[in-house]
Amino acid sequence: MEEWTKEQWIEQLQSGEQCAFYLYTPLCGTCDVASKMLTVIEELLPDLPIGMANINYLGNFAMDMQVESVPCLIIANNGEIREKVYAFQSVPFLFAILKK
């Protein structure tokens, strides 16, 4: 996954295509597991743009986006936030959500 800035996320969001933005913190063990799951998802869905960002460097973004905790996967389609995933249950679970 490629690290995105807030501006890159907004650009992807405005493209109207389905995309996802993964927010994490580096010392979070659950985030580490979620990152590995998303690496598999990237291989399964190579055309889906998925960016990632350390939420510690995004300023007020977490408040603006009403992010409740990390890890957080923000899924957007047609320029709108469709869903926020906090419980990364399994690769098949994430795959099903992203294929909707």
Q: What domains sit in the chain, N to C, each tagged with a CATH number?
A: 2-99 (3.40.30.10)
Asked if 31 contacts 24 with a C-beta cutoff of 8 angstroms, the reply is yes
| Nearest CA among 9, 11, 18 for reference residue 100 | 18
Q: Which amino acid is at 100?
A: K
Nearest to 15 by CA among 75, 78, 84: 78
| Residue whose token pair is 């679970």 | 93
User: What's the one-letter identity of residue 71?
Assistant: P
Instruction: Read off the pTM.
Output: 0.95
Position 68 scores a pLDDT of: 95
Is the pLDDT assigned to residue 100 strictly greater than 90?
no
**Is pLDDT above 90 for 11?**
yes
pLDDT tens per residue across span 26-84: 999 999 999 999 999 999 999 999 999 999 999 899 999 999 999 999 999 999 999 99
